[in-house]
Chains A and B, each alone.
Chain A
Amino acid sequence: NAGVMQNPRHLVRRRGQEARLRCSPMKGHSHVYWYRQLPEEGLKFMVYLQKENIIDESGMPKERFSAEFPKEGPSILRIQQVVRGDSAAYFCASSPGPTRHKETQYFGPGTRLLVL
């Protein structure tokens, strides 16, 4: 996970508040993926973004969750009106972009969200 930066590393929110998670991809990478990990489970895909575009959001909950990757600045995963079930580790991964059979993703350290 060298190079992919996420902040904050830990985030505590009360029910109903908003959570903003930030991800800066590795240098030279223009593709960002967000995953969620519940305790004792594997990672689950949420959304795939390129600069200014959402490519695949099939894993995103229909409500309260949104993601963006602006032309300048980090990718943001936003959770509105958080509930206790949103408590999880959220990981960002980046890749340089799909070349033939070589779209390899490198992960950041994650943001641990705790909703009280």
Chain B
Amino acid sequence: GQQLNQSPQSMFIQEGEDVSMNCTSSSIFNTWLWYKQEPGEGPVLLIALYKAGELTSNGRLTAQFGITRKDSFLNISASIPSDVGIYFCAGQGGNTGKLIFGQGTTLQVKP
């Protein structure tokens, strides 16, 4: 079945640093989504990408849909303590709309 590899698994950075994480897939996706999850809560949508090559920003977050449609990255600039959480990529490829999730990147920010 379809699988997503997300890296890195975890990051511990200093406040103010930039962060980059990415996902790669063994198959093509039509849509890439990036979510953030905090303890005890559901995933919150950060950025949605619908077209190969698309580069989209949401405040300090920037994400791109890879040209091959098999990868995506998320960048966070000038990190702040409230960026702490688990970031998930998710791909959507079939006709039914189900999402395939990466394993998550745990981000910790040191003030």
Contact = CB atoms under 8 A, between A and B. Distances in A.
Contacts of A48: 96-98
Interface stretch (B12-20, B29-37, B74-82): B29-37
A75 interface: no
Contacts of B100: 45
B11 to A, nearest CB: 16
A1 B43 contact: yes
Nearest to B100: A45
Contacts of A31: 97
Contact of B99 (A1, A33, A58, A112): A33
A110 to B, nearest CB: 5
B66 interface: no
Classify chain A: how many residues form its interface, as a range.
20 to 34
A89 B45 CA distance: 18
B43 A104 contact: no
Nearest to B1: A58
B70 interface: no
A35 to B, nearest CB: 8
B24 to A, nearest CB: 14
A110 B97 contact: no
Given A101-B30, A101-B50, A107 B42 contact: yes
Contact of B43 (A6, A98, A107): A107
Contacts of B43: 1, 43, 91, 107
Top 4 A-B residue pairs of the complex, sorted by shortest distance between their CB atoms? A42-B101, A107-B42, A56-B96, A45-B98
